[in-house]
Amino acid sequence: MSDLKINRRNKIPQSVFAKNFLNHWAAEFSKTDRVTAAELESDLDLFSTMLEASFQTDTSLNQAAELLLKLFSLSHKTHQTDRWLNLVPLVLSKANSDKIDVSLKVRLLNRMGQTCLLQNQTDQAYSFYKQALTFCDEGHCQDAFCQADCYLHLAEFCHKTQAHETALDYSSALLNLPSFRSFPASFRATAQNLNGLILVALDQISEAFKPFQSAADIWQTEGDEVEQIRSLLNIGFTWLKIGRNDMARQTFEQTLQLAEKYPNKKIVVLNNMGILNFNDDKLQQAIRNWQEGVRTAAALPTAPRVLGEILHNLGFVHQRLRLFEPAATYFDRASLAWRKQNNTFEVARAIGGKAETFSDWGKYQESIALFDKAITVLGEIAADNWLLLELHAGRKAAHEKLKQ
């Protein structure tokens, strides 16, 4: 929390106060890069006021821009992204001014695009990203890293919006920059990992291993085990995708050893080990993997997103073993887990799993009622997709069995 307060009696000029305020927080950020969202909460209104004053009066513009970049980085934690996006017109009004470094303008535009993308404002996000790249392409910014940052953001944007061919163009341009090896390690690893994901999306599977492994190697060198785990998981997924379960198993076992210290990551690895064992028809081993995942999740303060998937998998494998009562219980627990995360699609899928279980169990009336419930839940998000077709088909099959 800032020790600075507005003293209305002394009538300190706002521009002077804004400069003092910026100096204070610049000093705070220089002490550590880990200023938390909680430390900023009580100063959010003041931040907005002071940054607006800075951009309106040209007070310490570069310092204000640097601070705004930090705030964008923290915005997803404070849930206050609108505050900083409201400053966008002021920032853009200075975009053609020499009073803000061009590299800062590019970084700000990219950060604004990233923030808009988090809010699913895709058109606005793309506009910011393209403005940033235009600054570089027109020679206004001579910083090679700025151009690389533009390529990375646009590749990520196109990948997320399913424009994978265009994403690959940006990603390849980034990796082929002459200065790529001189960029920060974390940036290079992120770029390599994204390139692998894009190649997988384009079914260029064999080419994806190299960038995934490059990312894993960089993270290992940097000593970042959490990111290394993420890259190794991608390698394992890729082996699974081409049916090389032996190599996937080897990769996941290596990853599980690393993940022992990181419960959230361990749960993800256990889920995928379970899927691998299920695919290899090692059902009891799959159950043990998934049950260990559930126990690991129970020890965490907040349930991880993957918990719903693990519970659903446990329901499915018990259904396959014709252990209907535990199967129904696991589907109920999966539905509850997904409901807590406001994931309506997965809630409907879990209810549908329980409906299939009841149909296999011979409880056709209960099954039909559950299929109806799942269809109603799915209708809340106006879904017209494969799940809706499956639910209707399941209901029809249960109805036919009931008539027999």
Asked if residue 191 has pLDDT above 70, the reply is yes
- Average pLDDT over all residues of the chain: 83
> Domain containing 323 — which CATH number?
1.25.40.10
In this model, does residue 83 exceed pLDDT 70?
no
Domain end position, chosen among 100, 135, 164:
100
Q: Is residue 265 part of a domain?
A: no
pLDDT at position 32 over 80 = no
> Which of residues 47, 65, 100 is at a domain's end?
100
State in Å, rounded, how far the first CA of the chain is from the last one. Answer: 71
**Total-model pTM:** 0.75
What CA–CA distances, in Å, run from 297 to 108, 250, 266, 291?
A: 38, 24, 9, 10
Instruction: For 54-79, write each residue's pLDDT tens digit.
Output: 656 555 566 666 666 666 555 544 44
Q: Quote the domain boundaries for residue 38.
A: 1-100
**Tokens 């009696």 -> residue:** 9
Residue 323 has pLDDT above 90, yes or no: yes
Say if 16 falls within a structural domain. yes
Q: What is the mean pLDDT of residues 276-299?
A: 95
29 located within any domain:
yes
Please give the tally of structural domains in the chain. 2
Among 257-271, 354-368, 377-391, the minimum mean pLDDT is found in 377-391
User: Is there a domain that residue 109 lies in?
Assistant: no
Asked whether residue 56 is assigned to any structural domain, the reply reads yes
DSSP string computed for 235-272: HHHHHHHTT-HHHHHHHHHHHHHHHTT-HHHHHHHHHH
Please check whether residue 131 is in contact with residue 141, taking contact to mean a CB–CB distance below 8 angstroms: no
Q: Is 181 inside any structural domain? A: no
Residue with tokens 């590299």: 103
> Is residue 19, in this structure, part of any structural domain at all?
yes
Q: Give the pLDDT band (50/70/90) at residue 134.
A: confident
Q: Among 45, 76, 100, give the residue marking a domain's end.
A: 100
In a domain, 325, yes or no: yes
